[in-house]
Structures are given as structure tokens and as C-alpha cells.
Amino acid sequence: MDAVTAATSLTSLDVSGLAFAYPDGHQALYGVDLTIAKGERVALLGPNGAGKTTLVLHLNGILTAGAGSVRVAGLPVDRANMAEIRRRVGIVFQDPDDQLFMPTVREDVAFGPAAAGMRGAELEARVVRALTMVGMEEYADRPPHHLSFGQRRRVAVATVLAMEPEILVLDEPSSNLDPASRRELADILRSLDVTVLMVTHDLPYALELCPRSLILSGGVIAADGATGDLLVDEELMRAHRLELPFGFDPRAVAPSVG
């Protein structure tokens, strides 16, 4: 394996000079540069309107770069590679009901692999494995709308894991979860052997789960570093409209990032 191939195999995501403007002329990204190594868990932080969603939608080709490039495990995100890119990058939306539309949990989790041509025992094994990873195997034959919100979020994660992605992108994963569901999801995310990019306003959750954070502000990466270091930088936080919950002190917390 040559040096270039070795470096690529260790990099899940490489974004270089990414710029994008919407058709109405609104410039959302002005030149984003970031690299995420295979197996990292990284939080993407930033105020509303910073460009976080726009950036995420470039990762699996929903949006096309106006300038710059995006590579997933060395593959350019372009039309020629789109099917493989969309298998490798799984996005879990903020509202699980945006992802769950089949009569049963089993059918929802099977939908992606089945659409890719998987059938029979191989498909069933893939479904069981994904549901087991999120602790929902006992609910396989339940209608999704009979589940709690936290359970539906875990099933939504399973629908993505069933595709065996390299990168799991989570949009506000802790929103609307009660404390127990929040903890259960954190335990699941820590157990996964995938690269995780977590878009969140929940700064304590970012500290708990992600050793590294990026701050996207004004369409560029404004800061990149250890999550705890960024959260205690009061000037940096203020400049990018990020606020910790009242009374929360990152310095008093030993993050669980294993």
C-alpha cells in the first residue's frame, strides 16, 4: 500500500474549499476545509444559519458543490460514485418520522438494503444485526407509530446502520429525548464502529460523546479542537452565539468518550 492509499484508508471525510450558493443568491458556504479520520466522533457546532445543514447535504450528494470538493473514504462525491457515496454516508434526520414510513419496524430497516438488491436470509440477517445494535430487535414486528419517540429515533438509526455506512451523520440526535432515552442513545453511539458527525446545539451532549468539535460560523470553519477546550473559551463561544446551559461547567465534567 503506497502512502497516498494508506492516508486515504484512514480518512473518512475530506472537505476542501467547499463553497455553495443557493439559486436565490444566498451564499451559505464560503470555503469549508475539514478532515475527519476513520472512527472519529466529531460534533459540528454553530449558530442557526451558519451553514451546518447545507454542509451535511453535500456529504451524500443531495447538494452539489459550487466550488471545492468532498471526498468520502477517498471517493469524490460526484454523479459517477453517487450510489456508493449514499451507502457510505448515512444521515439520521432530527425527526425520526421523516425516515419511518413502512407498516413495521422490520420493513423500515429492510427498506434500504432491499432497494439495493438484497434478499432472503442475507437481508433478514442485516435487519436483525442493525436492530440489535440499537437494542430494538424485540420490536421488529411493531408498527413504528406505536413506539415512543426515543424508540423511533433508535429505529431511525437502525435504518441507516442496515446500509453499513462508513459515516453516520446525526442531526440534533438528543432533541426531544427524555433523560433515559438520551443516555440510551449515547450508549449506542459509543458502541458503534463507525465515523460519527453529530450536528447539535446540545453542547453537554457534544462534550459527552465527541472528543473533537468543529464550529461552523458564517459559512466557514471558525474553530476546530478538543470539545472541552472550545466550550471553556468564553470569547470564542460568545463570538459564535454558542451558550452553555445555565450552571453547566465543562471543566467539572469528565467526558465519557470511549
**All cell numbers assigned to 77:** 462525491
pLDDT value, residue 150: 95
Point out the least confidently predicted range of 141-145, 169-173, 248-252. Answer: 248-252
Amino acid type, 161: L
Of 152, 158, 146, the closest CA to residue 175 belongs to 152
Q: Does 2 have pLDDT greater than 70?
A: no
Q: Tell me if residue 143 falls in helix, strand or coil.
A: coil
Which whole number is the average pLDDT over 146-169?
A: 96
- In the 8-state DSSP scheme, what is residue 248? -
Which position has the grid cell 449506542? 188
What is the b/e burial string over 125-150, where b = at least 16 CB atoms within 10 angstroms of the residue's CB? ebbeebbebbbbbebbebebeebeeb
Instruction: Cell numbers for 138, please give them.
Output: 424485540
Arithmetic mean of pLDDT, 178-199: 95
* Helix H or strand E encompassing 171: strand 167-171
- So what's the pLDDT on residue 49? 87
- What is the fold, at CATH topology level, of the domain defined by 3-252? Rossmann fold (3.40.50)
Among 61, 62, 54, 44, which residue's Cα sits nearest to residue 20? 54
pLDDT of residue 9: 61
Residue 239 clears pLDDT 50, i.e. is over it: yes
Kindly give the interhelix angle for 105-115 and 149-161, rounded to the nearest 10 degrees: 20
Quickly state the pLDDT bin for 254 (edges 50, 70, 90): low
Distance CA 145, CA 168 (A): 24
108 pLDDT above the threshold of 70: yes
Q: What percent of the chain has pLDDT over 90?
A: 89
Least confident of 3-7, 51-55, 244-248: 3-7
Whose CA is closest to 198, among 160, 229, 176, 171? 171
Average pLDDT over all residues of the chain: 92
What is the distance between the alpha carbons of residues 76 and 24, in angstroms, rounded to a whole number? 27
CB atoms within 10 A of CB 35: 14
User: Which pLDDT belongs to residue 255?
Assistant: 55
Neighbours of 185 (CB within 10 A): 22
Sign of CA dihedral 51, 69, 257, 227: negative
The percentage of residues in the chain with a pLDDT greater than 70, rounded to a whole number, is 95
Is pLDDT above 60 for 6? no
* Residue 211 burial class via C-beta count within 10 angstroms: exposed 0-12, middle 13-18, buried 19 and up: middle
Q: Alpha carbon of 78 to those of 65, 165, 201: distances in Å?
A: 9, 17, 30
- At residue 1, does pLDDT exceed 70? no
Position 109 pLDDT exceeds 80: yes
Nearest CA among 60, 114, 58, 109 for reference residue 84: 60
Q: What is the pLDDT of residues 27-79, one digit of tens each?
A: 999 999 999 999 999 999 999 889 999 999 999 999 999 999 999 999 999 99
